[in-house]
Amino acid sequence: MPGKRARKSAQPSPARAPAEHEVECAMQLRRIGDRLNWRQKLLSVIAKLFRSGT
C-alpha cells in the first residue's frame, strides 16, 4: 500500500550478566516466597484439621 511503511526489524539486546545486587535481591525474594508458601501450607493443614468435623 502506498501510505504504509515497512516495520523495522527489532534487534535483540545483547545478553548481560546480572549485577551482584540483582542476584542478592532475587535470592531474598525467593526466600520470602518460600517462607510465605510454607506458612500458607501449614495454615491449610491446620484449617483442614479443625474443619474435619463439618
The 10s digit of each residue's pLDDT in 1-54 is: 566 676 667 677 677 777 889 999 999 999 999 999 999 999 999 999 998 765
Residue 37 lies in a domain: yes
Can you give the pLDDT at residue 24? Answer: 93
C-alpha–C-alpha distance, residues 38 and 30, integer Å: 12
Can you give the pLDDT at residue 18? Answer: 75
Residue 1 lies in a domain: no
Residue 47 lies in a domain: yes
Q: Which three cell numbers stand for residue 25?
A: 535481591
Residue 53 lies in a domain: yes
Residue 40 lies in a domain: yes
Residue 45 lies in a domain: yes
Residue 26 lies in a domain: yes
C-alpha–C-alpha distance, residues 44 and 47, integer Å: 5
- Number of domains present in the structure of the chain: 1
Answering whether pTM is above 0.75, one says: no
Range of the domain at 39: 21-54
Residue 34 lies in a domain: yes
